[in-house]
Structure 1
Amino acid sequence: MLKKIVLPTLLLALAVACQQGQKRPKGEGINRDTTHYTKEEYIAEAMDSNLVVAFLDHHAEFAPYRESILDFYRKRDFHFAWIDSAGLTEQAGGFMNMMRQDEATGIRDSSLDKSAALRLYDSLSAEGSELNRKDLLYRITEISLTGQFFDYAQKTWGGMTSDNSKDLEWFIPRKKINVESLLDSVIRYPKTAIATNEPVNRQYKLLRDELQRLAKLAKDNPVLDSIRIEKKKTYKSGDSSNVIAAVKKRLQMYGDFKDSDTTSRFTPQLDSALRNFQARFGQKEDGVIRESTVASLNRPLEHYMQQILLNMERIRWVPVEVNTDYLLVNIPEFRLHAYEDGKLAWSCNVVVGTQGNSTVIFSKDLKYVVFSPYWNVPPGILRKEVLPGIRKSGKAYLARHNMEMSGSGNSISIRQKPGPSNSLGKVKFLFPNEYNIYLHDTPSKGLFNETKRSFSHGCIRVSEPKKLAEWVLRKDSSWTTAKIDAAMNANKEKYVTVKEKIPVFIGYFTAWVDSQGRLNFRDDVYGHDKKLAALLFGK
């Protein structure tokens, strides 16, 4: 039977290696650890430890996981994990099915070659009744499945390497996956599906479900992307047009328009559906058919499916679950979200950096709330804006902007004094970092009403600063609403140390499922999607 396997040379090499009983470095296959499993948990047969070592010697693709694979088998005294007295286990079949259907995971890694493991599994499935666990095919398939699980788990649930994510200007620390523990759990508890053990954030699974939904929509409507909505004017409630009928049909397919009506009349139901669609795409929510709305409706489904895949990759990098209080700023969404014990408490609009002064993607812990802050003018703004203003108007410029100057020559520093016109407003929130980025109030409130809000020099302006201050200090009974209000208007700088750890995540997600279960999309404001797509799709 073995002659049917596609890898005869490898099998022969492994057989010879085992027969010769090669000496191995201390700490490899010969050292056993039988303290983690009881005898009842073992499958009756065990492998020669040298076989595992020889297999890994011939499979460079599993080199990054070599010690973890050996450790996994040591802890089970080199007994089988994927094969029992009846042959291949249910867990082995579930893992193979997952690999065969991994289009929904968005993996585009050429180094993840699943073909060998799948061929071995299929061969053993076909011939298993005629083989026993002493046959080499059983043992090679066993080790291959374990190596493949480590490789697949790291790339499917861990994502591309951390070096690549840094090249993409992502500086939030990457999560770490204990694949050995995950595999151990999958093997030990047969009734537990692999999917329930996936070490990924809940958003990953939600996006994967949406990806599958869009894939089915594309399959069921093969001509959908070839039908474009032609719009020559703006349409609103009460209008009639063939364009309106086309918009209704498209919104029905996307799930925004629940009514079966396909007439050309602009109805109140269509108005509601349009507002829901516009909210999902970060557009002005006014129920009007305009150019931006039609452009979003006309984009091919493949565009949105790839956008989901890009964000699934990013979500592979983030913590599986955060059960503490934390703040999340999603740059493309222009929103800040406050979480309590891992659950969304409230959100507000923010203004982020322009494309030329982009806000950095990173995370730090919130340390201070600063009431009535000074604004120390950054070097770039000092050089490009403030010093030219002083040269033109002299001290009048400083007085007009409520600023004070110290130093001389090349060592000039300028700061703006606390007050209603201060560029940082009445409060700022510091999470010390090397990028000099923080959250702050602003006297320029009008920009929060804009749909796209990338106007700052890199720091993040918050539309509800008082509410944020109250939220951050809510567990400190000495900071009442009245005291916070007084500190914000005291025109005297005051630092308050935050007593409990509050992580701040500055993230970049252009597709996600919101708290209402709606699939959202946003524009790629800094071009990060484009860079990531080049790595994942070669585009």
Structure 2
Amino acid sequence: MKTFPKLLIVLIVIITFSCNKSGKDTIILKKLVKKEIAELTISIDSNTVSNFYQAYPKLVSYQAEVLKLYKKQGSKQLWLDNKGLVEFGNTLFNKYRGLADEGLKANFPYDSIVNQIFDRISNNKLSQIDTDLMITNLYFYYASKVYHGVDEKTTTSLEWLLPRKKLNYQVFSDSIFHNSAINDSKKNKMFSQYYKLREVLKQYREIEKNGGWKAIEVSDDFKNFKLGDSAVGIAQIRERLFVTGEIKENTKSAVCDTVLISAVKNYELHHGKTPKNIILPEHIKEMNVPVSDRIKTIIVNMERCRWIDPKLEKDKEFIEVNIPEFKLYVIRDGEISFISPVVVGKAMTKTVIFSGMMQFIVFSPYWVIPQSIINQEIKPGMAKDKNYLAKKQLEWNNGQVRQLPGKNNSLGLVKFLFPNSNNIYLHDTPAKSLFERENRAFSHGCVRVAKPKELAVELLKGDPSWTPERIDKAMHAGKEKWYTLKKKVPVYIGYFTAWVDRNGNMNFYDDVYQRDESLIKLLTDE
């Protein structure tokens, strides 16, 4: 907070005209008078803070942090001086009023009272103490909503088990009050994806303001558009893609040319679809999703970004899996070093959103079958066929059922372990055909990797004794072999239905577990 002058210089110049006895005018100039006015000091202690929350109980969740802040600032006001509100207070209010830019609603519990404080025309009926405290609570409200998001209890109920970012209000306050600014100009307080989505939100809000995009109309028996076809719908597709930038110039042509096919393929690529040389009904359906729905999706994923500690991006090496994208990435030194398609859990056996530390690679693994699968699949199979275990290459082992190593093993030829209570891990699979599908939610919860050998090679680059040839041999040995990584690798399994990639392209993915709706309802109804 800025320091303001302690002295107010009052210049009093009184010129008195009078006539003396000689009839001459005389000018009497009084001396300059300096008048010292003490800096405004309002005492705000634990009693005044407590009284405030009795009057405004909807803000009581901020009480402890508010009291800490005032004690740290000398138990005096933060937002008022001799001239009234300090300029930084107005900056805060403007940021609050601009919460829509952050994908949030401006719904401070005492919004009308705050408006009166900053409205120079209306009368602020609060005392100076309550005025200062109300602005401080507005500050904590803003910081909480923008930099922290919904509380951890709520995110846990939404089955988000990735570690939550901890917002240290005192450290945050120090930087804010020291710089008299609430802008995150260095963009380092949040997960980097947040800032990218925020920019896209502006673009889509502008599109919405200009009327959005028109629905593409095709007949009920529409099959496809291909190169050379001519139809009104083709011109509509061209216009639709022009709005979001897939086509740089709208020629309004109704003929399906190579420019349009290329643009549609690019659109498909960034909407979780396999690019094709024809335009299908599902592509039209995707393009007809209203801009208002896309905005909701962006807002939902901005909120998810609030929960992630930006420090995780600083790890030298880590693995990330985005469930709706059906993709796995290895990030090393801030760059993508490896990508693989994945299969994730189906709706009834969802892959858990959580993190772990990869510690082991197991070549030619056994598969110890979970009790749920034994009950649902193995026991019914055994009841129908006494040779069921042998046919499935299963055996009893210490009271458990396990599948023998080999090419038919459900875990494939290698698995990657990051020990966790959810019993989730990465592994190969003999069911390679599933990777050709666009929607790849088929597993019992674990993550199946399309390129398991390549992932093993990537993770073992630091160990020259494990050449690609040795890895391949171990995978086909038919005998289980464990390797302990020299350094554990963080694994983050997340859930993002909107994502801006490193090339600046906006990507939307199907909400495979139907998680967006409950979150957008939480954000818009609160």
TMscore range, shorter length: 0.7 to 0.9
Among 237, 262, 275, the residue aligned to 1:247: 237
Tell me the secondary structure at the aligned position of residue 388 of structure 1: helix
Residues 65, 196 of structure 1: CA spacing in aligned structure 2 closer, same or farther, 3 A cutoff?
farther
Residue 258 of structure 2 corresponds to residue 262 of structure 1: no
Give 1:219 shift.
1.0
Tell me the secondary structure at the aligned position of residue 486 of structure 2: coil
CA contact (8 A) 1:282 1:333 kept: yes
Residues 379, 53 of structure 1: CA spacing in aligned structure 2 closer, same or farther, 3 A cutoff?
closer
Q: How does 1:398-409 map to 2 (within 5 A)?
A: 398-406=389-397
What is the CA–CA distance in structure 2 between the aligned matches of 1:426 and 1:113, rounded to whole Å? 61
Among 472, 475, 479, the residue aligned to 2:466: 479
Please identify, of 54-63 and 260-269, the stretch whose mean Cα deviation from structure 2 is larger. 54-63
Residue 270 of structure 2 corresponds to residue 275 of structure 1: no
Residue 188 of structure 2 corresponds to residue 161 of structure 1: no
- Give the letter aligned to residue 98 of structure 1: K
What is the CA–CA distance in structure 2 between the aligned matches of 1:210 and 1:426, rounded to whole Å? 42
Residue 355 of structure 2 corresponds to residue 360 of structure 1: no
CA contact (8 A) 2:409 2:429 kept: yes
Partner of 2:306: 316
CA contact (8 A) 1:359 1:458 kept: yes
Tell me the secondary structure at the aligned position of residue 390 of structure 1: helix
Residues 387, 274 of structure 1: CA spacing in aligned structure 2 closer, same or farther, 3 A cutoff?
same
Residue 274 of structure 2 corresponds to residue 284 of structure 1: yes
What is the CA–CA distance in structure 1 between the aligned matches of 2:459 and 2:481, rounded to whole Å? 15
Residues 174, 83 of structure 1: CA spacing in aligned structure 2 closer, same or farther, 3 A cutoff?
same
What is the CA–CA distance in structure 2 between the aligned matches of 1:112 and 1:487, rounded to whole Å? 62
Larger Rg: 2
What is the CA–CA distance in structure 1 between the aligned matches of 2:197 and 2:522, rounded to whole Å? 20
- Give the letter aligned to residue 327 of structure 1: I
Residues 403, 200 of structure 1: CA spacing in aligned structure 2 closer, same or farther, 3 A cutoff?
same
Give 1:191 shift.
6.4
Q: What's the C-alpha RMSD, in Å, of the aligned pairs?
A: 2.8
What is the CA–CA distance in structure 1 between the aligned matches of 2:471 and 2:59, rounded to whole Å? 57
Residue 42 of structure 2 corresponds to residue 47 of structure 1: yes
- Give the letter aligned to residue 381 of structure 1: I
Residue 59 of structure 2 corresponds to residue 62 of structure 1: yes
Measured against aligned partners, the alpha-carbon deviations of 1:355-396 in whole angstroms (never above 9, x if no partner) come to: 11111111111121111110111222222222333333323x
What is the CA–CA distance in structure 1 between the aligned matches of 2:109 and 2:448, rounded to whole Å? 43
- Give the letter aligned to residue 285 of structure 1: P
Identity of aligned residues (%): 36
Residue 209 of structure 2 corresponds to residue 230 of structure 1: no
CA contact (8 A) 2:44 2:129 kept: no
CA contact (8 A) 2:116 2:123 kept: no
CA contact (8 A) 2:49 2:63 kept: no
- Structure 1 gap ranges (5+): 1-36, 129-134
What is the CA–CA distance in structure 2 between the aligned matches of 1:192 and 1:168, rounded to whole Å? 30
Tell me the secondary structure at the aligned position of residue 339 of structure 2: strand
- Give the letter aligned to residue 435 of structure 1: N
Q: TM-score, normalised by structure 2?
A: 0.86
CA contact (8 A) 1:82 1:187 kept: no
What is the CA–CA distance in structure 1 between the aligned matches of 2:351 and 2:233, rounded to whole Å? 39
Tell me the secondary structure at the aligned position of residue 495 of structure 1: strand
Q: How does 1:140-155 map to 2 (within 5 A)?
A: 140-155=130-145
What is the CA–CA distance in structure 2 between the aligned matches of 1:145 and 1:398, rounded to whole Å? 70
Residues 315, 362 of structure 1: CA spacing in aligned structure 2 closer, same or farther, 3 A cutoff?
same
What is the CA–CA distance in structure 2 between the aligned matches of 1:364 and 1:62, rounded to whole Å? 36
What is the CA–CA distance in structure 1 between the aligned matches of 2:77 and 2:175, rounded to whole Å? 14
What is the CA–CA distance in structure 2 between the aligned matches of 1:302 and 1:367, rounded to whole Å? 44
CA contact (8 A) 2:367 2:402 kept: yes
Partner of 1:71: 68
Partner of 2:404: 417
More helix by share: 1
- Give the letter aligned to residue 523 of structure 1: D
What is the CA–CA distance in structure 2 between the aligned matches of 1:386 and 1:109, rounded to whole Å? 55
Q: How does 1:168-187 map to 2 (within 5 A)?
A: 168-187=158-177
Partner of 1:524: 511
What is the CA–CA distance in structure 1 between the aligned matches of 2:106 and 2:523, rounded to whole Å? 7
Among 313, 326, 339, the residue aligned to 1:334: 326
Residue 88 of structure 2 corresponds to residue 91 of structure 1: yes
What is the CA–CA distance in structure 1 between the aligned matches of 2:2 and 2:130, rounded to whole Å? 24
Residue 289 of structure 2 corresponds to residue 299 of structure 1: yes
CA contact (8 A) 2:53 2:60 kept: yes
Residues 39, 532 of structure 1: CA spacing in aligned structure 2 closer, same or farther, 3 A cutoff?
closer
More strand by share: 2
Partner of 2:200: 210
CA contact (8 A) 1:229 1:247 kept: no
Give 1:40 shift.
10
Residue 520 of structure 2 corresponds to residue 533 of structure 1: yes
Tell me the secondary structure at the aligned position of residue 488 of structure 2: coil
Q: TM-score, normalised by structure 1?
A: 0.84
What is the CA–CA distance in structure 2 between the aligned matches of 1:119 and 1:205, rounded to whole Å? 32
CA contact (8 A) 1:99 1:114 kept: no
Residues 209, 115 of structure 1: CA spacing in aligned structure 2 closer, same or farther, 3 A cutoff?
farther
Residues 345, 373 of structure 1: CA spacing in aligned structure 2 closer, same or farther, 3 A cutoff?
same
Partner of 2:102: 105
Residue 455 of structure 2 corresponds to residue 468 of structure 1: yes
Partner of 2:18: none
Number of aligned positions between the proteins: 489
Residue 190 of structure 2 corresponds to residue 190 of structure 1: no
- Give the letter aligned to residue 520 of structure 1: N
Give 1:425 shift.
0.9
What is the CA–CA distance in structure 2 between the aligned matches of 1:341 and 1:90, rounded to whole Å? 42
- Structure 2 gap ranges (5+): 7-37
CA contact (8 A) 1:353 1:459 kept: yes
Partner of 2:23: none
CA contact (8 A) 2:147 2:190 kept: yes
Give 1:45 shift.
4.0
Residues 52, 413 of structure 1: CA spacing in aligned structure 2 closer, same or farther, 3 A cutoff?
closer
Residues 198, 152 of structure 1: CA spacing in aligned structure 2 closer, same or farther, 3 A cutoff?
farther
Please identify, of 227-236 and 195-204, the stretch whose mean Cα deviation from structure 2 is larger. 195-204
What is the CA–CA distance in structure 2 between the aligned matches of 1:194 and 1:493, rounded to whole Å? 51
Give 1:454 shift.
0.7
Partner of 2:442: 455
Residues 273, 523 of structure 1: CA spacing in aligned structure 2 closer, same or farther, 3 A cutoff?
same
Partner of 2:497: 510
Residues 112, 460 of structure 1: CA spacing in aligned structure 2 closer, same or farther, 3 A cutoff?
farther
Measured against aligned partners, the alpha-carbon deviations of 1:119-172 in whole angstroms (never above 9, x if no partner) come to: 21224x9899xxxxxx98554433222211112211222111222212211111
CA contact (8 A) 2:188 2:310 kept: no
- Give the letter aligned to residue 468 of structure 1: L
